[in-house]
Amino acid sequence: MKYSPMTDIVKKFSNNQRFSYHVVVNIYTRQDNHDDYINKNVRIGSNEILSKDELTERAVHVVSGLIDSQAEFKGCEQVQIVGVTLAGAYDRDLNDN
């Protein structure tokens, strides 16, 4: 995984952790015979380098919690996580130079 220097906006949401990861989780839903796909952006912070498997597991855990708690999924007949994309990795200690 290639790490980029943290931008100001990433720093703002990184809770002062060294690494920040942007993960997109794709969710399939079915409601009233209508299929839909929803992307949820998840930002994961860590002071340790995380493997792709660890990132995937953490992102799926976060989104599973959203599925269980958010009203937008309550009326769905089916909800399934169908994809996980690691969209960005940032290291606070890297410089733009």
For 67-96, the pLDDT digits (tens) are 999 888 988 999 999 999 999 999 999 986
Give, as one character, the DSSP assignment of residue 48: S
- Read off the pLDDT of residues 28-72 as tens digits, 9 standing for 90 and up: 999 999 999 999 999 999 999 999 999 999 999 999 999 999 888
Residue recorded with tokens 């990132």: 55
- Which one is predicted more confidently, 97 or 16? 16
Q: Is the pTM of this model over 0.85?
A: yes
CA 75 to CA 55: how far, in whole Å? 29
| Mean per-residue pLDDT, 2-15 | 92
Most distant CA pair in the chain, distance: 53
CA 61 to CA 97: how far, in whole Å? 36
pLDDT value at residue 97: 56
Closest CA to 65 of 29, 47, 33, 40: 40
Distance of CA 46 to the CA centre of its chain: 13
User: What does residue 82 show for φ and ψ, rounded to 5 degrees?
Assistant: -115, -10
